[in-house]
């Protein structure tokens, strides 16, 4: 079953995602060569509390942390263990919060310092794939249109599209129906309707699409050890077009820039810091 959200519920989910994207933006300003991955997780935990929210991932099926931090060949679900970021790393920060009965979920990949042109192109291209997918998220389009847009962009550059992990509906539950693959056929799959909210999250690999699961039973890595990039936004389907929740943009305007002003997090949650 797919749960449609009311206008009031979408407003709550917009606030959830404002916190998500605000915290990811804060973390982006901490990322530099020499920074400690555990410090990023601690910052996110503190800011989640300050906003009066709870972390969606911590404790989810036993996941131990506030953030998923996936570095280089790690695709998704990396656990922020003791590690120092080095120049040339790429790091995906995936973060979700629960507030007023609803979840928000988003992710962004950052380059630490600078990296090779081909890895920089993968990161930029994955962000572009996210935008192209979101562009399809309108009433009357199909899930397959969204996946097709992501897949064709990725494969035109020779990048691998991860098959085993996909986007998802989101609302009162972190993962709701339907699943949203990053591949598909035009006009196929569930028809999109006003009130649906979907977390779209392209995961693109520089090399093979194949992935494997680490011994911690969480961390997903590329099978060939080459880098992977990951971006995610929670998007509502509205009559005006896709609404990128938490972006500050109106429905129909696709804004992927992270909010850069300080204090957006506490302001939304209304909590004390």
Site residues (vs Mg ion, CB under 5 A): 105, 199
CA–CA dist 222, 232 (Å, integer)? 19
CB of 50 to Mg ion, least distance (A): 23
Q: State in angstroms the smallest separation of the CB of 135 from Mg ion.
A: 19
List CB contacts of 21: < 8 A, sequence separation 6 or more.
106, 246, 247, 258, 259
Please, which residue, 89 or 232, has the CB nearer to Mg ion? 232
**Closest distance to Mg ion from the beta carbon of 176 (Å):** 11
Q: Pick between residue 115 and residue 244 the one whose CB is nearest to Mg ion.
A: 244
Q: How many angstroms separate the CA atoms of 14 and 247, rounded? A: 8
Q: Quick one: 75 or 115, whose CB is closer to Mg ion? A: 75
- The residue (of 73 and 105) whose beta carbon lies closer to Mg ion is 105
Nearer to Mg ion, 36 or 63 (CB): 63
Q: How far is the CB of 201 from Mg ion (least distance, A)?
A: 5
Nearer CB in complex with Mg ion: 32/60:
60
Give min distance, CB of 68 to Mg ion, in A: 9
Smallest distance, Å, CB 262 to Mg ion?
A: 26
DSSP string, the chain: --PPPPHHHHHHHHHHHHHHHHHHHHHHTT-STT-BHHHHHHHHHHHHHHTT-EESSTTGGG---SEEEEETTEEE-----S-B--TT-EEEEEEEEEETTEEEEEEEEEESS---HHHHHHHHHHHHHHHHHHHT-STT-BHHHHHHHHHHHHHHTTPEEPSSS-EEE-SSSSSEEEEE-S---TT-SPBP-TT-EEEE--EEESS-S-EEE-TTSS-EEETT---EEE-BEEEEEETTEEEETTSSPPTT----SPP-STTHHHHHH----
Instruction: Tell me how far, at minimum, the Cβ of 179 lies from Mg ion, in Å.
Output: 11
Residue whose CB is less far from Mg ion, 199 or 236: 199
């Amino acid at each position: 079953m797919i749960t449609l959200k009311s206008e009031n519920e979408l407003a709550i989910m917009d606030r959830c995602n404002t916190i998500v994207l605000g915290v990811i933006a804060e973390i982006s300003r901490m990322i530099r060569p020499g920074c400690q991955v555990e410090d990023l997780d601690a910052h996110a935990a503190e800011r989640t509390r300050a906003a009066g929210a709870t972390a969606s991932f911590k404790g989810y099926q036993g996941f131990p942390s506030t953030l998923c931090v996936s570095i280089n060949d790690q695709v998704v679900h990396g656990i922020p263990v003791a590690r120092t970021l080095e120049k040339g790393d790429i790091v995906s920060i995936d973060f979700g919060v629960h507030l007023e009965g609803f979840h928000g979920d988003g992710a962004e990949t950052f380059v630490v310092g600078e990296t090779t042109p081909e890895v920089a192109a993968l990161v930029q291209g994955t962000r572009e794939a996210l935008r192209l997918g979101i562009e399809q998220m309108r009433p009357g389009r199909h899930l397959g249109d969204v996946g097709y847009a992501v897949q064709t962009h990725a494969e035109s550059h020779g990048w691998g599209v991860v098959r085993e992990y996909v986007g998802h509906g989101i609302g009162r539950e972190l993962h709701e129906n339907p699943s949203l693959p990053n591949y598909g056929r035009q006009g196929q799959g569930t028809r999109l309707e006003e009130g649906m909210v979907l977390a779209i999250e392209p995961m693109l690999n520089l090399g093979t699409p194949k992935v494997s699961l680490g011994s911690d039973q969480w961390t997903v890595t590329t099978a060939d050890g080459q880098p992977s990039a990951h971006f995610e936004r929670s998007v509502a389907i509205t009559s005006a077009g896709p609404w990128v929740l938490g972006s500050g943009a109106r429905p129909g305007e696709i804004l992927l820039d992270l909010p850069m002003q300080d204090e957006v997090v506490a302001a939304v949650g209304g909590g004390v810091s």
